[in-house]
Amino acid sequence: ICPVRCISRMSELNDEELCDLWRSANAVGSQIERHLGCDAVNYAVQDGSAAGQSVAHVHVHVLPRREGDYERNDDIYDELEQHRPFAAEGERVNRGREEMAAEALELRELFGQ
């Protein structure tokens, strides 16, 4: 989830944008939970390169979770590291357009778009 205005750090958001970002993340998380039948979601933000931000714009990750999906809840972050979501810009492996288009279509239907 990202704000309309493309900025690199959370501290650059004004109050209205910050509220809108988290309201949007909440709405998406609720829809994802119902759609996937999961038990919960994690919301994750890496704010700045030292925090693992791999693209220079503010965004919130919504991670669907199921009861018992990891032995320790924080193990999800170790698994994400293995998939290299925080790789340097030149090292990222992008998903294919077809895969992303199919996912976008499925999610778009959840929001009546």
Report d(CA 103, CA 98) in Å as an integer: 9
57 noted as active-site residue: no
Q: Please identify which of the residues 57, 59, 61, 83 carries the catalytic annotation.
A: 59
Helices 97-110/15-36 angle, 10° precision: 90
**Residues labelled catalytic:** 59
